[in-house]
Protein backbone atom coordinates (compact mmCIF):
# COMPACT_ATOMS: atom_id res chain seq x y z
CA UNK A 1 0.00 0.00 0.00
CA UNK A 2 1.09 3.56 -0.66
CA UNK A 3 2.77 5.42 2.19
CA UNK A 4 0.82 8.63 1.47
CA UNK A 5 -2.73 8.59 0.16
CA UNK A 6 -4.90 11.46 -0.98
CA UNK A 7 -8.63 11.65 -1.53
CA UNK A 8 -10.24 12.48 -3.83
CA UNK A 9 -7.89 12.04 -6.77
CA UNK A 10 -9.96 14.25 -9.00
CA UNK A 11 -12.59 16.83 -8.17
CA UNK A 12 -14.60 19.28 -10.20
CA UNK A 13 -16.50 21.91 -8.26
CA UNK A 14 -18.12 25.27 -8.73
CA UNK A 15 -17.08 28.71 -7.58
CA UNK A 16 -18.09 29.39 -3.99
CA UNK A 17 -18.27 25.77 -2.90
CA UNK A 18 -16.41 24.44 0.14
CA UNK A 19 -13.97 21.68 -0.67
CA UNK A 20 -11.92 19.41 1.57
CA UNK A 21 -8.93 17.43 0.39
CA UNK A 22 -7.73 14.67 2.66
CA UNK A 23 -4.32 13.14 3.22
CA UNK A 24 -3.24 10.12 5.23
CA UNK A 25 0.24 8.72 5.77
CA UNK A 26 1.57 5.49 7.21
CA UNK A 27 5.21 6.56 7.50
CA UNK A 28 4.74 7.49 11.15
CA UNK A 29 6.26 10.92 10.52
CA UNK A 30 5.29 14.03 12.44
CA UNK A 31 5.68 16.56 9.65
CA UNK A 32 3.10 16.96 6.92
CA UNK A 33 2.80 19.43 4.07
CA UNK A 34 0.32 20.67 1.49
CA UNK A 35 1.65 21.95 -1.83
CA UNK A 36 0.03 23.36 -4.90
CA UNK A 37 1.44 22.80 -8.39
CA UNK A 38 0.61 24.97 -11.37
CA UNK A 39 2.12 24.52 -14.84
CA UNK A 40 5.47 26.28 -15.07
CA UNK A 41 5.45 27.33 -11.42
CA UNK A 42 6.73 24.24 -9.67
CA UNK A 43 5.52 23.40 -6.17
CA UNK A 44 4.45 26.10 -3.78
CA UNK A 45 3.92 25.46 -0.08
CA UNK A 46 0.43 26.17 1.26
CA UNK A 47 0.56 24.95 4.88
CA UNK A 48 2.73 22.66 6.95
CA UNK A 49 2.38 20.97 10.31
CA UNK A 50 5.09 19.74 12.64
CA UNK A 51 2.66 17.90 14.89
CA UNK A 52 -1.02 17.89 15.77
CA UNK A 53 -0.76 21.17 17.68
CA UNK A 54 1.65 22.97 15.37
CA UNK A 55 0.27 24.41 12.14
CA UNK A 56 2.16 26.91 10.02
CA UNK A 57 1.35 29.00 6.99
CA UNK A 58 3.39 28.54 3.87
CA UNK A 59 4.04 30.78 0.91
CA UNK A 60 0.45 30.85 -0.41
CA UNK A 61 -1.97 30.19 2.47
CA UNK A 62 -4.62 32.80 1.59
CA UNK A 63 -7.93 31.16 0.70
CA UNK A 64 -6.94 27.85 2.34
CA UNK A 65 -7.22 26.33 5.80
CA UNK A 66 -5.97 23.05 7.25
CA UNK A 67 -6.75 20.61 10.01
CA UNK A 68 -4.38 18.08 11.57
CA UNK A 69 -6.77 15.51 12.97
CA UNK A 70 -4.10 13.05 14.00
CA UNK A 71 -0.43 12.36 13.39
CA UNK A 72 -1.39 10.48 10.25
CA UNK A 73 -4.06 12.83 8.86
CA UNK A 74 -3.82 16.32 7.43
CA UNK A 75 -6.71 17.93 5.56
CA UNK A 76 -6.77 20.98 3.31
CA UNK A 77 -9.92 23.03 2.91
CA UNK A 78 -10.93 25.65 0.41
CA UNK A 79 -13.67 27.57 2.21
CA UNK A 80 -15.03 29.23 -0.91
CA UNK A 81 -13.38 27.89 -4.03
CA UNK A 82 -12.45 30.22 -6.88
CA UNK A 83 -11.29 29.38 -10.41
CA UNK A 84 -7.65 30.37 -9.83
CA UNK A 85 -7.44 27.61 -7.23
CA UNK A 86 -7.64 25.13 -10.08
CA UNK A 87 -4.41 23.16 -9.70
CA UNK A 88 -2.78 19.91 -8.73
CA UNK A 89 -2.50 19.54 -4.94
CA UNK A 90 0.04 17.35 -3.21
CA UNK A 91 0.42 16.19 0.33
CA UNK A 92 3.83 15.15 1.64
CA UNK A 93 5.40 13.93 4.85
CA UNK A 94 8.88 13.74 6.31
CA UNK A 95 10.58 12.87 9.56
CA UNK A 96 12.05 16.34 9.88
CA UNK A 97 15.57 15.05 10.37
CA UNK A 98 18.23 16.82 8.37
CA UNK A 99 18.85 14.78 5.29
CA UNK A 100 15.51 13.06 5.20
CA UNK A 101 13.41 13.20 2.08
CA UNK A 102 9.82 14.12 1.58
CA UNK A 103 7.35 11.40 0.63
CA UNK A 104 4.57 12.56 -1.64
CA UNK A 105 1.03 11.45 -2.22
CA UNK A 106 -0.32 10.86 -5.74
CA UNK A 107 -1.99 14.26 -5.92
CA UNK A 108 -5.51 15.64 -6.24
CA UNK A 109 -6.47 17.37 -9.45
CA UNK A 110 -8.94 20.11 -8.55
CA UNK A 111 -10.93 22.07 -11.11
CA UNK A 112 -13.01 25.04 -10.01
CA UNK A 113 -15.52 26.18 -12.61
CA UNK B 1 9.67 32.48 -2.82
CA UNK B 2 11.40 29.87 -4.91
CA UNK B 3 15.00 29.04 -4.21
CA UNK B 4 15.98 26.74 -7.03
CA UNK B 5 15.83 27.39 -10.72
CA UNK B 6 16.32 24.49 -13.09
CA UNK B 7 17.84 24.86 -16.52
CA UNK B 8 16.82 24.06 -19.16
CA UNK B 9 13.05 24.24 -18.71
CA UNK B 10 12.67 21.48 -21.28
CA UNK B 11 15.06 18.94 -22.78
CA UNK B 12 14.48 16.46 -25.58
CA UNK B 13 16.99 13.71 -26.34
CA UNK B 14 17.24 10.32 -28.00
CA UNK B 15 17.33 7.10 -26.04
CA UNK B 16 20.88 6.19 -25.09
CA UNK B 17 22.06 9.79 -24.85
CA UNK B 18 22.99 11.48 -21.60
CA UNK B 19 20.74 14.13 -20.07
CA UNK B 20 22.09 16.97 -17.96
CA UNK B 21 19.93 19.29 -15.91
CA UNK B 22 21.14 22.19 -13.84
CA UNK B 23 19.85 23.86 -10.71
CA UNK B 24 20.87 27.22 -9.32
CA UNK B 25 19.86 28.47 -5.91
CA UNK B 26 20.14 31.70 -4.00
CA UNK B 27 21.00 31.09 -0.35
CA UNK B 28 23.16 28.67 1.59
CA UNK B 29 21.88 25.15 2.02
CA UNK B 30 22.10 22.18 4.34
CA UNK B 31 21.41 19.76 1.49
CA UNK B 32 20.02 19.67 -2.03
CA UNK B 33 17.69 16.98 -3.32
CA UNK B 34 16.48 15.92 -6.74
CA UNK B 35 12.99 14.59 -7.34
CA UNK B 36 11.29 13.09 -10.34
CA UNK B 37 7.65 13.50 -11.33
CA UNK B 38 5.91 11.42 -13.96
CA UNK B 39 3.12 13.30 -15.67
CA UNK B 40 0.42 14.23 -13.16
CA UNK B 41 1.84 11.98 -10.45
CA UNK B 42 3.46 12.60 -7.08
CA UNK B 43 7.13 13.46 -6.75
CA UNK B 44 9.58 10.69 -6.03
CA UNK B 45 12.92 11.30 -4.34
CA UNK B 46 15.96 10.42 -6.45
CA UNK B 47 19.08 11.53 -4.64
CA UNK B 48 20.29 13.85 -1.88
CA UNK B 49 23.64 15.62 -1.69
CA UNK B 50 24.82 17.39 1.45
CA UNK B 51 26.49 20.77 1.43
CA UNK B 52 29.88 19.23 2.27
CA UNK B 53 29.71 16.77 -0.63
CA UNK B 54 30.76 17.54 -4.19
CA UNK B 55 29.53 14.51 -6.10
CA UNK B 56 27.22 11.60 -5.57
CA UNK B 57 26.18 8.61 -7.66
CA UNK B 58 23.15 6.37 -7.66
CA UNK B 59 22.83 3.91 -10.51
CA UNK B 60 22.66 5.93 -13.73
CA UNK B 61 22.36 9.19 -11.80
CA UNK B 62 25.25 11.50 -11.00
CA UNK B 63 24.75 14.66 -9.00
CA UNK B 64 27.32 17.38 -8.47
CA UNK B 65 27.18 20.32 -6.12
CA UNK B 66 29.20 23.52 -6.27
CA UNK B 67 28.37 25.58 -3.20
CA UNK B 68 30.64 28.43 -4.30
CA UNK B 69 28.53 28.85 -7.43
CA UNK B 70 25.31 27.84 -5.67
CA UNK B 71 24.57 25.30 -8.36
CA UNK B 72 23.98 21.61 -8.85
CA UNK B 73 23.67 19.34 -11.84
CA UNK B 74 21.89 16.06 -12.39
CA UNK B 75 23.26 13.76 -15.06
CA UNK B 76 21.27 10.77 -16.27
CA UNK B 77 23.46 8.47 -18.32
CA UNK B 78 22.29 6.15 -21.09
CA UNK B 79 18.77 7.55 -20.93
CA UNK B 80 15.71 5.41 -21.54
CA UNK B 81 12.21 6.28 -22.71
CA UNK B 82 11.06 5.51 -19.16
CA UNK B 83 13.17 8.43 -17.90
CA UNK B 84 10.69 10.81 -19.53
CA UNK B 85 9.45 12.95 -16.64
CA UNK B 86 9.90 16.30 -14.94
CA UNK B 87 12.86 16.69 -12.62
CA UNK B 88 12.93 19.11 -9.69
CA UNK B 89 15.69 20.25 -7.41
CA UNK B 90 14.81 21.13 -3.84
CA UNK B 91 16.95 22.87 -1.29
CA UNK B 92 16.96 22.68 2.48
CA UNK B 93 18.15 26.05 3.81
CA UNK B 94 20.11 25.70 7.07
CA UNK B 95 18.18 28.49 8.72
CA UNK B 96 14.83 27.04 7.83
CA UNK B 97 12.77 24.48 9.65
CA UNK B 98 14.24 21.03 9.43
CA UNK B 99 12.44 18.98 6.83
CA UNK B 100 11.14 21.96 4.87
CA UNK B 101 12.23 22.12 1.25
CA UNK B 102 12.04 24.80 -1.40
CA UNK B 103 11.37 23.44 -4.88
CA UNK B 104 12.40 24.81 -8.23
CA UNK B 105 10.16 24.95 -11.28
CA UNK B 106 11.52 21.80 -12.86
CA UNK B 107 13.04 20.54 -16.10
CA UNK B 108 10.78 18.55 -18.39
CA UNK B 109 12.78 15.73 -19.96
CA UNK B 110 11.55 13.86 -23.01
CA UNK B 111 13.47 10.78 -24.10
CA UNK B 112 12.53 9.55 -27.56
CA UNK B 113 12.87 5.86 -28.40
E strands present in chain B: 5-7, 10-14, 19-24, 31-37, 43-50, 55-58, 61-66, 71-76, 85-92, 102-103, 107-112
pLDDT score of A1: 59
Tell me whether B110 touches chain A (CB under 8 Å).
Answer: no
Instruction: Quote the CA–CA distance of B64 and A42 in Å, as a whole number.
Output: 22
* Cβ within 8 Å, pair A90-B1: no
Instruction: Quote the CA–CA distance of A31 and B96 in Å, as a whole number.
Output: 14
- pLDDT of A28 strictly over 70: yes
pLDDT score of B92: 84
Closest-CA distance, B23 to chain A, in angstroms, reads 13
Instruction: Quote the CA–CA distance of B26 and B4 in Å, as a whole number.
Output: 7
E strands present in chain A: 4-7, 10-13, 19-25, 31-38, 42-51, 54-57, 65-70, 73-78, 87-94, 103-104, 108-112
Tell me whether B39 touches chain A (CB under 8 Å).
Answer: no
List Cβ neighbours of B55 (8 Å cut-off, separation of 6 or more).
B49, B62, B63, B64, B65
Which of A99, A104, A105 comes nearest B50 by C-beta?
A: A99
* Cβ within 8 Å, pair A4-B105: no
From its phi and psi, is residue A95 left (phi > 0), alpha (psi between -120 and 50) or beta? Answer: alpha
CA dist B108 → A76, B19, B54, B60 (Å): 28, 11, 25, 18
Q: What is the pLDDT of residues B38-94, one digit of tens each?
A: 988 999 999 999 999 999 999 999 999 999 999 999 999 999 999 999 999 999 877
Q: What is the pLDDT of residues A54-110, one digit of tens each?
A: 999 998 999 999 999 999 999 999 999 999 999 999 999 998 777 688 999 999 999
Strand pairing category for B10-14 and B107-112: parallel
Chain B residue with CA closest to A96: the answer is B99
Q: What is the pLDDT of residues B22-43, one digit of tens each?
A: 999 988 888 999 999 998 899 9
- Residue B56 contacts residue B49 (beta carbons within 8 Å): yes
Q: What is the pLDDT of residues A47-66, one digit of tens each?
A: 999 999 999 999 899 999 99
- pLDDT of A21 strictly over 90: yes
Which of B41, B48, B98 comes nearest A101 by C-beta?
A: B48
Query: What letter does residue B41 receive in the DSSP assignment?
Result: S
**In A, which residues are within 8 Å of B2 by CB distance?**
42, 44
Amino acid sequence: DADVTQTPRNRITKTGKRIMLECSQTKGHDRMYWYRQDPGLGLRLIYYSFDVKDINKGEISDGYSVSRQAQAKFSLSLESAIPNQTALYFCATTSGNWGDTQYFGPGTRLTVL
Amino acid sequence: SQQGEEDPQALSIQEGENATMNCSYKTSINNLQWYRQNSGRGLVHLILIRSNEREKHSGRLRVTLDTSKKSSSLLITASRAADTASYFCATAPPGGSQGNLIFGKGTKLSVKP
